Structure 1
Amino acid sequence: MAFSARINNTSSVCSLLIICLFLLAFEARMSLASGFVQTRGTHFVLDNSLFLFNGFNAYWMMQVAAQPSQRYKVSNVFREAAAAGLTVCRTWAFSDGGNKLALQISPGVYDENVFQALDFVVSEAAKNKVRLILSLVNNYQDFGGRPQYVDWARNAGIRTSTDDDFYTNVVVKQYYKNHAKKVLTRINTITGVAYKDDPTIMAWELINEPRCQADYSGNTVNAWVQEMASYVKSIDNKHLLEIGMEGFYGDSITDRKQYNPGYQVGTDFIRSNLIKEIDFTTIHAYPDAWLSGQDDDGQMAFMRRWMTSHWTDSRTLLKKPMVFTEFGKSSKDPGFSIASRDSFLSAIYSNIFNLARSGGIGGGLVWQLVSEGMESYSDGYEIDLFQTPSTSSVISQQSRQMTALEHKMSRP
């Protein structure tokens, strides 16, 4: 009996070892098949294959997930987005002071419950095979942003004059670096994986829509981007990095300023995207706000010029891929209808697809998807895929076309 028991125990151990080895091999294959998105020239690649995508913005995810009873809304949007073929989501990894759901309450002080909400967002994205672009701070005072950082320094007795000190003040810059390091080195409480090691994250974004009134040339923002890009890459060189720019041209190539909507905002699309640590370029466009005095045809003509000029510069001068990271049509526009929004999105998607056929653009991210019961997050641009099947159809069609193009261009 004792000998028989030893045989049985040995067999059980061997079986267990075989199962463990199988699971490890399976995990390794799964890890290999879900690697980090990278760039190769003017293309995005994933597992050595071309990566084209259709995506969306949902900046609100962490804040909504911070309320456990509301987390189903995050899950619903990821599930509906995945069903529509959307594979990239851009969202905030910041919420700075001044509100009850702040991630960073004060410099270096974090609300663990809100951080766990961000953990949930990352884990839900992974479940639905959606890659994330995580932005690290806001230009605007919404969710704290750049003004909050300067206020923190001022309250600590540091002499500051304007919000633009965010880009130059040593103390404020250290606040930002500390936050970047905190997020990048965060170990997800759900998956156990550090953010900097998680391929679910496609890229980091330095700042949402940087602007600087103190220096319209773009030089001040450029110096900040260089410093922060180098710092972020020193912590995490696995993930892609982008700035978060809208695309406004600065003083480095003066003739490009003709493509701006009649003004500058203190950034230089060309010069800052030449920084070697920046992996791809981004543009945003809201002609209904930027060119409110023009009719739909004039605004669409601007959009085509805006997209083409940046796509051309990204391919030829910068030699990096581009993503159209924000666009949409507001229900607050005169004469708005679901049909007019669908027509607008179809035109933008057609432009993205046509540019992608020639290489150099990875995809576009519509602003913004929401779930039902989220009226407090309504900004005019919100889209509920479940409630608007015609818009969902337009978005799904673009996803299918981009996927088909990816397969076609990947053939030897």
Structure 2
Amino acid sequence: MSKFSRIVFFFFFSILVILQASEAARLVPSPRVSGFVTTKDTQFLLNGSPFLFNGFNSYWMMHVAADPTERYKISNVFRDASAAGLTVCRTWAFSDGSNQALDLQISPGVYDERVFQALDFVISEARKYGIRLILSLVNNYNDYGGRPQYVQWAKSAGEKISSDDDFYTNPVLKEYYKNHVKKVLTRFNTITKVTYKDDPTIMAWELMNEPRSQADTSGKTVQGWVQEMATYTKSIDNTHLLEIGMEGFYGDSMPEKKQNNPGYQVGTDFISNNLIQEIDFATIHAYPDIWLSGQNDYAQLGFVEKWISSHWEDSRTILKKPLVFSEFGKSSKDPGYTLSARDEYMKAVYDSIDNFARSGGTIGGGLVWQIVAEGMESFYDGYEIVLSQNPSTAGQISGQSQKMRTLSHTLSNEH
């Protein structure tokens, strides 16, 4: 090859390499997560402007991502969710001793690096698609181990335990939980190369999914635990937002509020628990099909609208903190269920969120339960939504995303 031919060859070879590199860069979604979500009074803020959102629950992500051949399901859900304008996802950052093959925490303080790398992947994919995460740190129930598994570990270590509610008061159990908090918050992500506590992809930490206490229905036992664990969590990470994970049941601090409960208490106190200084925003869940089983759709919807209304008012006037409706849905297992009934229910919930967000803010958004990928029938619980297979529901979700985005822009312009 002549000198001239070599120059021409290398010139075109260089052009080809540059073109391939730019094509590869084009195919990888550019990260759209910048800045930490913060709060001021009753508003969420992002980079100084009001942040309103529509979001979803996909609790199963780390669990499924532990099998690398299944990881495309996480990518598909984030891709479809992003296309529907969803910007916040709530998922589990725990799996405790209940399934040895897929546990994050095998025993107290002992972790499976392979499962931790699955959580690394979930965070990195969320970041790619511009979706922020609320990461829950333990379950109240025995799914994925939870509070009962912690209690079992303590019993096996020789601790005298009288009930699962000792989780909130026993020093050994509290130490187990704190160790898990520290392990997760200080985790260095092997994919993004960012420590979790420094990653703006994470919107908030959640202390526990739906804390409850049978031993003390007043809310005081849970109060002591939340205060201790919120203080501890903030001592490690004072940048991210923190919430409890509560359903919204009222307790003994304001007895007149208990009439809003669905006829019973669960050991939490929406007012006093969320007044704890280290808690940045309040949450509610609602499952009228379970809580008010046997009542008709009209009565159940009436309960939910009142549930949102009372908690919005309390968050605005008493707590002076933002509120998130972080679990709601309608089950296909309900008697008389139809797809159109679910869509109507979701529209009514979305309209309530939208109306309250317009009436002085306070409510930041809602997180529907739950979005799954195609081919995940084993995770179906009646509430599952496959965006690609449920066009009418996907339309409801996209419409709400658009409303919240528009309202965000309107408020930003007024800000």
TM (norm. structure 1) is 0.92
Contact 1:140 1:146 in 2 (8 A): yes
| Post-superposition offset of 1:32 | 11
Secondary structure, aligned partner of 1:398? helix
Contact 1:33 1:47 in 2 (8 A): no
Secondary structure, aligned partner of 2:280? coil
> Taking structure 1 as reference, are residues 190 and 96 closer, same or farther at Cα in structure 2, changes over 3 Å only?
same
Corresponding residue of 2:349: 348
Corresponding residue of 2:286: 285
| Post-superposition offset of 1:410 | 1.5
1:205-237 Cα shifts (integer Å, max 9, x gaps) = 000000000000000000000000000000000
Corresponding residue of 1:14: none
Corresponding residue of 1:58: 58
1:42-94 Cα shifts (integer Å, max 9, x gaps) = 00000001100000000000000000100000000000000000000000000
> Taking structure 1 as reference, are residues 295 and 63 closer, same or farther at Cα in structure 2, changes over 3 Å only?
same
- Read off the aligned partner of 1:60 and give its amino acid letter: W
Q: What is the CA–CA distance in structure 2 between the aligned matches of 1:32 and 1:371, rounded to whole Å?
A: 23
Secondary structure, aligned partner of 1:363? strand
Segments of structure 1 that go 5 or more residues without pairing to the other structure are 1-29
Q: What is the CA–CA distance in structure 2 between the aligned matches of 1:271 and 1:293, rounded to whole Å?
A: 31
Corresponding residue of 2:69: 69
Corresponding residue of 2:98: 98
Q: What is the CA–CA distance in structure 2 between the aligned matches of 1:155 and 1:32, rounded to whole Å?
A: 46
Q: What is the CA–CA distance in structure 2 between the aligned matches of 1:53 and 1:322, rounded to whole Å?
A: 12
- Read off the aligned partner of 2:354 and give its amino acid letter: F
Q: What is the CA–CA distance in structure 2 between the aligned matches of 1:201 and 1:283, rounded to whole Å?
A: 20
Corresponding residue of 2:223: 222
Secondary structure, aligned partner of 1:293? coil
Contact 2:33 2:200 in 1 (8 A): no
Corresponding residue of 1:250: 251
1:81-119 Cα shifts (integer Å, max 9, x gaps) = 000000000000000002020000000000000000000
1:219-278 Cα shifts (integer Å, max 9, x gaps) = 000000000000000000000000000000000000000000000000000001000000
Segments of structure 2 that go 5 or more residues without pairing to the other structure are 1-29
Corresponding residue of 2:200: 199
Secondary structure, aligned partner of 1:77? helix
Contact 2:206 2:245 in 1 (8 A): yes
- Read off the aligned partner of 1:81 and give its amino acid letter: A
- Read off the aligned partner of 1:373 and give its amino acid letter: G
Q: What is the CA–CA distance in structure 2 between the aligned matches of 1:108 and 1:293, rounded to whole Å?
A: 44
Q: What is the CA–CA distance in structure 1 between the aligned matches of 2:31 and 2:326, rounded to whole Å?
A: 27
| Post-superposition offset of 1:411 | 1.3
Corresponding residue of 2:371: 369
1:156-179 Cα shifts (integer Å, max 9, x gaps) = 001101000000000000000000
| Post-superposition offset of 1:31 | 9.7
Secondary structure, aligned partner of 2:106? strand
- How high is the sequence identity, in percent, across the aligned residues? 70
Corresponding residue of 1:111: 112
Q: What value does the CA root-mean-square deviation take over the aligned residues?
A: 1.1
Q: What is the CA–CA distance in structure 2 between the aligned matches of 1:293 and 1:334, rounded to whole Å?
A: 9
Contact 1:185 1:195 in 2 (8 A): yes
Secondary structure, aligned partner of 2:159? coil
Q: What is the CA–CA distance in structure 2 between the aligned matches of 1:356 and 1:223, rounded to whole Å?
A: 32
Q: What is the CA–CA distance in structure 1 between the aligned matches of 2:305 and 2:256, rounded to whole Å?
A: 18
> Taking structure 1 as reference, are residues 32 and 329 closer, same or farther at Cα in structure 2, changes over 3 Å only?
closer
Corresponding residue of 1:386: 388
Q: What is the CA–CA distance in structure 2 between the aligned matches of 1:398 and 1:133, rounded to whole Å?
A: 20
Q: Is 2:80 the counterpart of 1:80?
A: yes
Q: What is the CA–CA distance in structure 2 between the aligned matches of 1:217 and 1:127, rounded to whole Å?
A: 43
Q: What is the CA–CA distance in structure 2 between the aligned matches of 1:281 and 1:33, rounded to whole Å?
A: 23
Secondary structure, aligned partner of 1:72? helix
Secondary structure, aligned partner of 1:411? helix
Runs (4 or more) in structure 1 with deviation over 2 Å come to 30-33
Contact 2:350 2:400 in 1 (8 A): yes
Corresponding residue of 2:25: none
| Post-superposition offset of 1:193 | 0.3
Q: What is the CA–CA distance in structure 1 between the aligned matches of 2:298 and 2:182, rounded to whole Å?
A: 45
Corresponding residue of 2:324: 323
